[in-house]
Amino acid sequence: MWTFIHKLGSPRWFYAISARLQPWFWAAAALLLLVGSVWGLAFAPADYQQGNSFRIIYVHVPAAFLAQSIFVAMAVAGLIFMVWKIKVADMAAAMMAPLGAAMTFIALFSGAVWGMPTWGTWWMWDARLTSMLILLFLYFGVIALRGAFSSRDSASRAASVLAMVGVINIPIIKYSVDWWYTLHQPATFTVTSRPSMPMEMWLPLLIMLLGFYSFFIALTLMRTRSEILRRESTKRWVRDLAAEEA
């Protein structure tokens, strides 16, 4: 088991394995996103209150899910890097951060776009949107901290610590923001927490969600692979690889 993990942790091995996994995730992402968006945008029934504007949840909800998952994944990768000194984990974490920030931004943007027809304003200090905004700042912090160090080894460790501190804080932030929101705006209409969504609505949502996750995995694999080549460019096996290609 341990030898397996360490083997997986070696950049060279990860590079080889991910080459085989990557196409599958790309294919799954393309298929799921295509089916999900066609189904969600064209065939799912319109909402009885919001009409067609609700269809933005097919982007908003998966992006919001992914934004939070990526932060957790980043912290887990940071932990793996700190405890077992597996460099691939750090490379993956470094590659995930901008992606997570982008997802958070998409969730915020789609939330604002959704807010216009629903609330009549682009921005409301809604609990979910506020949490998302704070999450975006947390991502900015991790990215900025990694960029601030001149030594990459230190940058990796500092970013890992911050990601772990952040991940402990995310639930606390989330609950306190929820609490703050209910205190200040009691019983307003919250868009995403509906008691029951008909099957025809949430099935495409589920498909979109899976599609987003596959896309994230595929993209992270791809970016981590190029990061491996960049960081290991002085290593023998990378040079052999380059010679083979040429």
Partner 1 sequence: MPGTETPMTDTEAAMPFHREPRGGLMVALRATLKRDLVLLLRRRSEVLNPLVFFALVITLFPIGISPDPELLATIAPGLLWVAALLAALLSLDSLFRGDYDDGSLEQLLLTPQPLAALGLAKVAVHWLLTGLPLALMAPVLGIMLSLPAGSYGILALSLALGTASLSLIGAIGAALTVGLSRGGVLLSLLVLPLYIPVLIFGAGAVQAAILGDGVAAHLAILGALLAVTLMFAPWAIAASLRISING
Partner 2 sequence: MPLRLQARELACERDDRRLFEDLDLDIRAGEIVRVEGPNGSGKTTLLKILSGQLADYRGELFWNGVPMRRVRGDFLASLLYLGHAPGIKAALTPLENLAWYQALADEPGDEAARLAALEGVGLAGFEDLPTGQLSAGQQRRVALARLDLTPRPLWVLDEPFTAIDRDGVAALEARLVAHARSGGCVLVTTHHELRATDELRRIRLGGGGDDARH
Question: Can residue 237 be called a binding residue for partner 1 (CB under 8 A)?
Answer: no
By the rule CB under 8 A, 134 interacts with partner 1: yes
CA 10 to chain centre: 24
Candidate ranges 5-13, 15-23, 120-128, 135-143; the one touching partner 1 (CB under 8 A) = 135-143
Integer Cα distance of 11 and 224 in angstroms: 10
Q: Which does 12 bind (CB under 5 to 8 A by kind): partner 1, partner 2, none?
A: none
Q: How far is the CB of 230 from partner 2 (least distance, A)?
A: 10
Are 153 and 196 in contact by the 8 Å Cβ rule? The answer is no
Cβ–Cβ < 8 Å for 167, 96: no
User: Using CB under 8 A, which of 8, 112, 173, 197 touches partner 1?
Assistant: 173
* 3-state secondary structure string across 235-246: CHHHHHHHHHHC
Could you say whether residue 3 binds partner 2 (CB under 8 A)? no
Answer with the entry of partner 2, partner 1, none that 152 interacts with (C-beta below 5 to 8 A by kind). Answer: partner 2
180 is a site residue for partner 1 (CB under 8 A): yes
Least distance in angstroms from the C-beta of 185 to partner 1? 14
Residues in the chain: 246
Dihedral sign for Cα atoms in the order 55, 60, 63, 68: negative
Interaction of residue 152 with partner 2, rule CB under 8 A: yes
DSSP string, 81-132: HHHH--HHHHHHHHHHHHHHHHHHHHHHHHHHHHHHHHHSSS----HHHHHH
Which CA distances in Å does 178 have to 122, 131, 134? 20, 8, 13
Q: List the x/- string, 220-239, binding to partner 2 by CB under 8 A.
A: -----------x--x-----
Binding residues for partner 1 (CB under 8 A) = 82, 134, 137-138, 140-141, 144-145, 148-151, 153-154, 157-158, 161-162, 164-166, 168-169, 172-173, 175-177, 179-180, 183
